[in-house]
């Protein structure tokens, strides 16, 4: 979202809050602007999911299918962990992945376990490193 549109939204909120008692205004305006900045600057979820899916499939060397195979689970793990680190909620991620929020939580914990036990999860760690590198390259080119 462009900065002019963000500023317009901020001004609208400020005008609405100015109607409140003066002692409450100062705190509410600051909190509302912080929330607005966080929400407006977060990438579009469904679009970001599609980008991450394409990059994760490339890093894993496997196309995502609806099965519960290890390859598919690893792709979903890479995507869920990245989207979580970008500030998306478990429910949002689950909705875009077609999974329950608890499944998304499991995916994020899988990557944390992989870091704790690198010998056991060496393939997932290699895929994660490749995924992160490809994602950084993509973000540099397109952001």
- pLDDT tens digits for 48-59? 899 999 999 999
Residues 73 and 134 in one domain: yes
Residues 107 and 61 in one domain: yes
For residues 83-110, average pLDDT: 93
Residues 80 and 120 in one domain: yes
Using alpha carbons only, give the angle 95, 86, 62 rounded to the nearest 5 degrees.
65
CATH assignment of the domain containing 87: 1.10.1750.10
Let me know: does 77 contact 111? Beta carbons within 8 Å: yes
Residues 25 and 53 in one domain: no
Let me know: does 33 contact 10? Beta carbons within 8 Å: yes
Residues 37 and 49 in one domain: no
Residues 20 and 85 in one domain: no
Per-residue confidence band for 39, with pLDDT thresholds at 50, 70 and 90 = low
Residues 131 and 78 in one domain: yes
pTM: 0.69
Domain enclosing residue 87, as ranges: 45-142
Residues 72 and 32 in one domain: no
Round the average pLDDT of the chain to a whole number and report it. 83
């Amino acid at each position: 979202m462009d900065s002019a549109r963000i500023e317009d939204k901020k001004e609208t909120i400020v005008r609405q809050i100015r109607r409140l008692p003066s002692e409450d205004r100062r705190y509410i305006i600051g909190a509302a602007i912080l929330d607005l900045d966080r929400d407006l600057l977060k990438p579009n979820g469904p679009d970001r999911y599609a980008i991450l899916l394409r990059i994760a499939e490339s890093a894993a060397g496997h196309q995502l299918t609806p099965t519960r195979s290890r390859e598919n689970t690893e792709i979903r793990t890479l995507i869920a962990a990245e989207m979580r680190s970008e500030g998306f909620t478990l429910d949002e991620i689950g909705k875009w992945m077609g999974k329950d929020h608890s499944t998304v939580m499991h995916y994020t914990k899988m990557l944390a376990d992989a870091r704790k036990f690198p010998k056991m999860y060496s393939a997932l760690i290699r895929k994660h490193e490749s995924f992160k590198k490809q994602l950084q390259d993509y973000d540099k080119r397109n952001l």
